[in-house]
Amino acid sequence: MMAARCQRTSHSATPEMKTLLLDDEPFELQLLEHHLRRLGFDEVVACRSARAALDLLPGADSGFELIFCDLQMPDIDGVELIRHLRELNYPGGLILVSGEDERILLSVEQLARSRGLNVLGALRKPIVPADLAEVLLRHNARRDAAADAAAACDYAPERVAAAIFNGELVNHYQPKVDLLDGTLAGVETLVRWQHPHDGLVFPDRFVEVAERSGRIDDLTSVVLAEAVRQAWQWRETGLDIKVAVNVSMRSLASLSFAELVLAELERAHMPPSALVIEVTETALMQDPRAPLDILNRLRLKGIGLSIDDFGTGNASLAKLRDIPFSELKIDRGFVHGAAANRLLRAITETSLGMAKRLGMTSVAEGVEDRSDWDFLSAIGCDQAQGYFIARPMPPEDFPEWAADWQERRPGLIACPAGMAV
């Protein structure tokens, strides 16, 4: 049965990645395999039966690093397959494929992620080679990042604490620019660890350790103090911009946090209006009493409040009702690709309209390319942030970036005439 429903092909190429394709339509299988072959894939196993494909996976030596799964299968559909992959603890990448309505495709994608699977993305039929290549590039980037993380040591709480107190943490800053005229509007502060042996360590390797070990307030204090000091230095050179700092929910549980923030601003002789506190929406799902106390006090002092990753948690509208946010950051998952995706476009436009009606500054995260920029400009978003503009950088790199941006800016200000609104 399995031999009749699965076909294995090999061809010398790079990357050496064992890949499993599931689709009950022979033509779609052949087309996808053809695209993968042209991209240089080494080994592809094509299956017309989900049951036959599942028989291949439990073995320790199955080695499938990537699975393409059509949602509409006759024996086991894509939703059922996701459940089976979770039970098998499948560690590789999953790419969903379907000709169904895009809302179904995106919903199943979120379901798979909620079950802990490594979902690289979703592709609509017929598959466009450029879309396939983009998803695969994303997989390679994640694989490289995972390899780097695996190669590095696990950091003990004591070592993270030492990094905080020994001055090994450094701030990088990602620009936020005005979509109307391209001017620099502010920066988001992103902490890094300049490890003496491991090089630059990203926050996903140590911030959670600081939270678990009770050192997050110390970490936040260091990041905040340096961000405010840097804002003062920029102001002295004539660069008057807002600096945003991400705050952990654990810090918002301590009523003394407001005094910490105000003391740092006073020490640096900076006005409260120069600072924005960013709070993730999912973090606000806890006991609201202390956060409401702190956030309202900060807002009364003139400090900006930003609801980060808007739309990714629960009770978003209730949080906008209860907390006086001055800025709404639209999550990158709704921004990138919204110009070509009806559902993402609708969500982004709705979030933007809500921000305008509430008098909030709208910031779109995850602006990855020119199409994202043009779309956001056309619908009247206030600010943009993302790799298309700049990656996070140390403050000493800002002058060079600013010079380059001044050259790029004139060509981005006017929305192309053919851009649909």
Which pLDDT score is estimated for 236? Answer: 93
Q: Do 107 and 170 belong to one domain?
A: no
Lowest mean pLDDT among 113-117, 167-171, 285-289: 285-289
For the stretch 233-245, pLDDT in tens is 999 999 999 999 9
Residue type, 246: N
Q: Do 296 and 397 belong to one domain?
A: yes
For residue 102, the domain's CATH number is 3.40.50.2300
Q: Do 204 and 168 belong to one domain?
A: yes
Instruction: Find the mean pLDDT for residues 251-275.
Output: 93
Lowest mean pLDDT among 94-98, 190-194, 354-358: 94-98
For residue 165, the domain's CATH number is 3.20.20.450
Q: Do 144 and 163 belong to one domain?
A: no
Q: Is residue 419 part of a domain?
A: no
Answer left, alpha or beta for residue 128, where phi above 0 means left and psi between -120 and 50 means alpha: beta
With tokens 């120069």, the residue in question is 274
* 66, 97, 125 from 45: Cα distances, Å: 10, 16, 20
Q: Do 124 and 180 belong to one domain?
A: no
Instruction: Find the mean pLDDT for residues 58-78.
Output: 79
Q: Do 324 and 352 belong to one domain?
A: yes
The pLDDT-based confidence of 404 (bands split at 50, 70, 90) is very high
User: Do residues 321 and 357 make contact, with C-beta atoms less than 8 angstroms apart?
Assistant: no
- Check pLDDT > 50 for residue 3: no
Highest mean pLDDT: which range of 9-18, 92-101, 139-148: 92-101
Q: Is residue 421 part of a domain?
A: no
- DSSP character for 205? G
User: Do residues 217 and 251 make contact, with C-beta atoms less than 8 angstroms apart?
Assistant: yes
Q: Do 136 and 186 belong to one domain?
A: no
Mean pLDDT, the chain, integer:
85
The pLDDT-based confidence of 61 (bands split at 50, 70, 90) is low
Give percent of the chain with pLDDT exceeding 70. 86
How much is the pTM? 0.73
State how many domains the chain has.
2
Which pLDDT score is estimated for 146? Answer: 52
- Check pLDDT > 80 for residue 116: yes
Which pLDDT score is estimated for 144? Answer: 55
Which pLDDT score is estimated for 60? Answer: 43
The residue among 150, 179, 211 that closes a domain is 150
The residue among 127, 150, 173 that closes a domain is 150
Starting at the edge strand that comes first in sequence, how are the strands of the sheet with 18-22 ordered? 6-10, 43-47, 18-22, 66-70, 93-98, 118-124
Instruction: Find the mean pLDDT for residues 197-217.
Output: 92
- DSSP character for 393? B
Q: Do 180 and 142 belong to one domain?
A: no
Does 9 or 306 have the greater pLDDT score?
306
The residue among 118, 150, 182 that closes a domain is 150
Which pLDDT score is estimated for 6? Answer: 67
Q: Are strands 184-195 and 199-201 parallel, antiparallel or unpaired?
A: antiparallel
- DSSP character for 44? E
Which pLDDT score is estimated for 31? Answer: 87
With tokens 């050259």, the residue in question is 407
Which pLDDT score is estimated for 10? Answer: 47
Which residues pair with residue 291 across a beta bridge?
A: none
Does 274 or 131 have the greater pLDDT score?
274
Give percent of the chain with pLDDT exceeding 90. 49
Lowest mean pLDDT among 3-17, 119-133, 385-399: 3-17
For the stretch 7-55, pLDDT in tens is 655 443 345 678 999 888 888 888 888 888 888 887 889 898 888 888 8
For residue 176, give both structure tokens: 């936020």
Q: Is residue 131 part of a domain?
A: yes
Spatial CA neighbour of 228 closest among 184, 180, 262, 278 = 262
Which pLDDT score is estimated for 309? Answer: 77
Which pLDDT score is estimated for 11? Answer: 41
Q: Do 39 and 137 belong to one domain?
A: yes
Segments forming the whole domain that contains residue 136: 2-150
